[in-house]
Amino acid sequence: MAEQTIENSVIAAANSKTARRRRNWREFKDKLARVVVTGGGIMVIVAIVLIFFYLLYVVIPLFNSADLRTEQQFEQVPTNNVHLTLDEYNEVALSLDEKANLRFFNAHNGNEISAVDLPIPAESSVSSFSAGSASTGVFAYGLDNGQAIVFQENYKISYPQGTQRLITPEIQYPIGEELVEIDPQGQPLQMLTVQSYDDLTTLVALTADNRLVMSRITKDVNFLDETDFTLDNENREIPLDSNAPVSKIRLDIDQRELYVIHNDGDIAYYDVQNIDDVRMLQRISAVPEDVEITAAEFLTGGISILIGRSDGQIDQWFPVRDADNNYTIERVRSFSEQTAPIRSILAEQARKGFVALDDTGDIGIYHTTAERNLLVENILADANAKMALSPRANGLITVAMNGDTQFHEIENEHPEVSWHSLWEKVWYESRSEPEYLWQSSSSSNDFEPKLSLTPLTFGTIKAAFYAMMVAVPLAIMGAIFTAYFMSPRMRNLVKPTIEIMEALPTVILGFLAGLWLAPLVENNLPGVFSILILTPIMVLLTAWLWTKLPKSLRQRIPDGWEAAILIPIVILVGIISMKLSLPLENLLFGGDMPGWLESTGIGYDQRNSLVVGMVMGFAVIPTIFSITEDAIFSVPKQLTIGSLALGATPWQTLTKVVLLTASPAIFSAVMIGLGRAVGETMIVLMATGNTPIMDFNIFEGFRALSANIAVEMPEAAVNSTHYRVLFLAALVLFSATFVFNTLAELVRQRLRKKYSSL
């Protein structure tokens, strides 16, 4: 009866209003916690997905092809144009015909803006024409009396009404309006090439009697009055080494190199830097016997020359130093997307790209460094049409022989990027061989961007490798001893101490590594290696000596506190090694171990991978240690006790039971530590020297993807190629981390499933 009464009381209490309110409140909190946790997890996933798609959104335009759209089409009075130019705003064009008539006109409707008469004597007639580098806007007409006139286009920009731009074209004469004597014998100049830069102007001409003559004009300007100057003209004749007719002559913008192209496909390469010592450096056969050279043009910068062929192929040649430190020209790459003879080539003024026109009217847009064909499109019916590319390479105007004129807009924002330029070896101008290089900017306008992500990815892997070499054995071995062998009291001191190391800001670690540890390691390199070699030896020796001590002495140290004996041993090894560093260096390495390494062919940089491995390993150890220690300590005690009860030793129990059971978590710890090392920024930024080189040498520095983003993102112009490639680097880092973590989770699940039955 009493039991029934108690039961009824319990039921009544459970059904009371207060109890129901408490149950409802508990259920509400459980549901709320479930919703918050679930929602938080979903939001994390959504955030990661959004980051991925945003990176992809910024990166995708890098791989778009070029687009060419015809915006205006009109007719003009037919003229025999020899050249055409377009200003940087795509508003004003200049046509030059074979009779030295110059006409500026509106690029969108053909209306004439102005016409210019050059000061050519009536008794002389034009026999040749040459356009210098597009970046200088210099031209020259050769005359039938062995003279030439040099002139230059210029566009004045003004805003007379406040916001409306007014472009006023004009013709200037960089060396005056007087005619320049090229051939003292007065023979007609049948072929001409000109370059004028700063106060130096050079003209090379082929005369009617098949002589190659050169004239170099030095301009001496009065510093008090820039309009007052004197000219010094030197003339020389350049011997031709072949009887084959000359088809083209080209002079580079620096007026150092001359290319003479013959009808038989040979190219003679001359050094004309010293007019008193003109030398032919090389003569090569540039095309097969059944192929002709139909076009030739310098890339911006004047280092590379593009050779258009009758089979539609375009070859890039530039000088390369040979083993004897002499320059020879080499064919570096070819483009064969067009199949008809190439008639004209236009080089971009700010990039290593060009536009080519062939006999069928196809126009191709290319970029040399990326080895990329961006577009081939048939837009012209007249293969003899003249073309002009704007300085910004976003406008193209064509004028056919019958006067038909078309203005085209070009959309080609990021031609420098391709799989080849990002991940493969590229043969850059002025380099002796193909290389992996990262050099994103320069002070030069004709700079060739080097955007290879390979050395940055290599640097990231190198940093992670050396960091894990330091961190993994120390962290895992330390965690095993702490969780399995160490006394609880000592564990309560060691574990929090190591875990609190994770709170150290990496910027502080990087600062110490770069300014304190790197010089210390360089000045005591033998001592550092002595520590690395002697420490494990002394630890093993101390352990062996410990076993030889009388049992009465060993029992005075409580179980689990034996590791404390090693603390003074490790400190003593460190002090002795550093004290012996200088004597060892004097004895074995002539007082300079870094210099000795350099003499043996092993480069040494103060901020190197050894320093980064030590400091980044120090930063990664707490993560791996904490997770591994928790996993080992959490192995069910009944498994350990059962193994010991069956006669296994503690070491056998550890290796056969405990580590296998904890292996999924240990593997996760290593992968989390690897992710931390791969994504680390401040330590690799401050302690590596940031040199993007491909060298696994532990004494050399590197540049990692994360550090490169941190260094260069602030100076990258928004939406530029540089800016988007940095986002691509971030996408590569993000994707690699995602792939590694996914594979790690798959492996962890398999290990968990395999050893869950223990």
E strands, 36-80, are 67-75
Average of pLDDT values for 570-588? 90
Q: Are 471 and 331 found together in one domain?
A: no
Q: Are 363 and 503 found together in one domain?
A: no
Give the Cα separation of 113 and 91 in Å (integer).
11
Q: Are 421 and 459 found together in one domain?
A: no
The pLDDT assigned to 749 comes to 79
Give the Cα separation of 413 and 393 in Å (integer).
9
Whether pLDDT at 162 is above 80: no
Q: Are 200 and 267 found together in one domain?
A: yes
In a domain, 599, yes or no: no
Give the Cα separation of 736 and 746 in Å (integer).
15
Query: Quick count: other Cβ atoms within 10 Å of Cβ 186?
Result: 13
- The alpha carbon of 546 is separated from its chain's Cα centroid by a whole number of angstroms, namely 56
The pLDDT assigned to 396 comes to 94
Give the Cα separation of 89 and 167 in Å (integer).
9
> What percentage of residues in the chain have a pLDDT greater than 70?
96
Dihedral class, residue 209 (left if φ above 0, else alpha if ψ from -120 to 50, else beta): alpha
Q: For all residues of the chain together, what is the average pLDDT?
A: 88
Q: Are 326 and 359 found together in one domain?
A: yes
Average of pLDDT values for 236-244? 86
| Residue predicted with more confidence, 452 or 646 | 452
If one counts the domains in the chain, the total is 2
Provide the whole-model pTM. Answer: 0.87
Q: Are 380 and 494 found together in one domain?
A: no
In a domain, 26, yes or no: no
Last residue of a domain, one of 429, 462, 484: 429
In a domain, 561, yes or no: no
In a domain, 22, yes or no: no
The pLDDT assigned to 325 comes to 78
Span 348-383, pLDDT tens digits = 998 999 999 999 989 999 999 999 999 999 888 888
The pLDDT assigned to 476 comes to 92
The pLDDT assigned to 18 comes to 75
Span 411-425, pLDDT tens digits = 999 999 999 999 999
- pLDDT bin (cut points 50, 70, 90) of residue 755 is low
Q: Are 619 and 748 found together in one domain?
A: yes
The pLDDT assigned to 474 comes to 92
The pLDDT assigned to 649 comes to 84
Span 6-25, pLDDT tens digits = 666 656 655 667 777 887 88
Q: Are 470 and 337 found together in one domain?
A: no
Whether pLDDT at 491 is above 90: no
User: Between vectors from CA 40 to CA 38 and to CA 45, what angle results, nearest 5°?
Assistant: 95
- pLDDT bin (cut points 50, 70, 90) of residue 723 is very high
Q: Are 458 and 425 found together in one domain?
A: no
User: At 613, which CATH number?
Assistant: 1.10.3720.10
In a domain, 45, yes or no: no
Residue 255 phi, psi (nearest 5) = 60, 40
Residue 499 phi, psi (nearest 5) = -65, -30
Average of pLDDT values for 200-226? 87
- Mention every residue, 6+ apart, whose C-beta is less than 8 A from residue 714: none
Which run of H or of E encompasses 532? helix 525-548
Q: Are 124 and 243 found together in one domain?
A: yes
The pLDDT assigned to 557 comes to 81
The pLDDT assigned to 648 comes to 85
- pLDDT bin (cut points 50, 70, 90) of residue 5 is low
The pLDDT assigned to 14 comes to 57
> What percentage of residues in the chain have a pLDDT greater than 90?
45
Q: Are 460 and 424 found together in one domain?
A: no
Last residue of a domain, one of 394, 429, 464: 429
In a domain, 701, yes or no: yes
In a domain, 743, yes or no: yes
User: At 223, which CATH number?
Assistant: 2.130.10.10
How many residues does this entry show for the chain? 758
Residue 331 phi, psi (nearest 5) = -80, 120
Q: Are 390 and 510 found together in one domain?
A: no
- Give the residue from 334, 263, 259 showing the smallest Cα distance to 292: 263
Span 58-97, pLDDT tens digits = 999 999 999 999 998 988 877 888 999 999 999 999 999 9
Helix (H, G, I), strand (E, B) or coil at 272: coil
Range of the domain at 415: 73-429
Residue indicated by tokens 């904890």:
662
Last residue of a domain, one of 429, 464, 479: 429
In a domain, 703, yes or no: yes
Average of pLDDT values for 589-606? 88
| Residue predicted with more confidence, 486 or 340 | 340
Is the separation of the CB atoms in 414 and 405 below 8 Å? no
The pLDDT assigned to 369 comes to 93
